[in-house]
Chain A
Amino acid sequence: MEQVKRPLSPHLQIYKPQLTSILSITHRATGVFLSLGSLFLTSWLVGLATSEEAFTSLQQYGSAWYGKIILVGFVFSFYFHLGNGIRHLFWDVGLGLEISTTYKSGYAVIAFSIILTVVTVVMGGVL
């Protein structure tokens, strides 16, 4: 079939980054990252079910410096995806769709995820 030269919509690079678009792509990125994290959760549970030695050797990766960085990344991604996900659920029922409200809820999601990440990391003794 012959290709029709249709006009393309402008490329992503020429748009000015905005809070709304940044949070939108971050929601996707954290979602993909958390999906990878679910594989770590599975190996943690499988280690737990296998033996104490298997569990302890897995835990060592979690307490290494790189493990801690990844763990903090998962905690932040979790709270961000949770907070922004609730924001999406409100939009789904038609609430908070005014531009000014999307900015307010956007900043609220950022504050929520940073504060709860710090609380969880400190309480969990990750750092």
Chain B
Amino acid sequence: MSMRNPLAKVRGLGSAKEGVHHWWAQRLTAVALVPLSLWFIYSLVAVTGAEYAIVITWLGQPINAVLTLLFLFSLYYHAALGVQVVIEDYIDSEWQKIACLILVKFLVWLAGLSAAIAVLKIYLGK
């Protein structure tokens, strides 16, 4: 006989109370990043190089701006989830762990939003 509450069993959220959301989000962003990151690296290397004017023109194309934004969103989301697990695994002290987790969350939002605004500024400036 199971000692588990039937409602808890149906919800399937486990002891962490959030179910498999973290795991699932990490996998989905990973799958999205396979084509997006390859496309981004290929674009940098083969299409744009490092010339200012060429990169600006390239980011002025709607398709490139949209795919870059999708790439950045998946990248920062995936990075935040991954770094979170590394911190949870290796930092023993509870207050240091929480401080690091909060710092990473703030940093990811700061960097991600800055990158997105930069892309939008270049795109809309065209």
- Whether A49 and B122, one on each chain, are in contact in the complex, defined by CB atoms closer than 8 angstroms, is yes
Do residues B83 and A52 form an inter-chain contact, with CB atoms below 8 A? no
A78 to B44, CA, bound (A): 14
Inter-chain residue pair count (beta carbon < 8 A): 73
Query: Are B79 and A34 in contact, CB atoms less than 8 angstroms apart?
Result: yes
Whether B122 pairs with A48 at a CB distance below 8 angstroms is yes
What is the chain A residue whose CB lies nearest that of B55?
A48
Chain B residue at minimal CB-CB distance from A28: B86
- B38 to A38, Cβ gap below 8 A? no
B-chain residues with CB within 8 Å of residue A78 when the two chains form the complex: 37, 41
Closest to A126 in B: B45
User: Restricting to B74-88, which residues have a CB under 8 Å from any CB of A?
Assistant: 75-76, 79, 82-83, 86
Residue of B nearest to A63 (CB): B50
Residue A9 interfacial (CB < 8 Å) = no
* Chain B residue nearest in CB terms to A74: B41
| A42 & B45 in contact (Cβ 8 Å cutoff) | no
Residues of A within 8 A of B (CB): 28, 31-32, 34-35, 38-39, 41-42, 45-46, 48-49, 52, 55-56, 59, 62, 75, 78, 82, 85-86, 88-89, 92, 120, 123-125
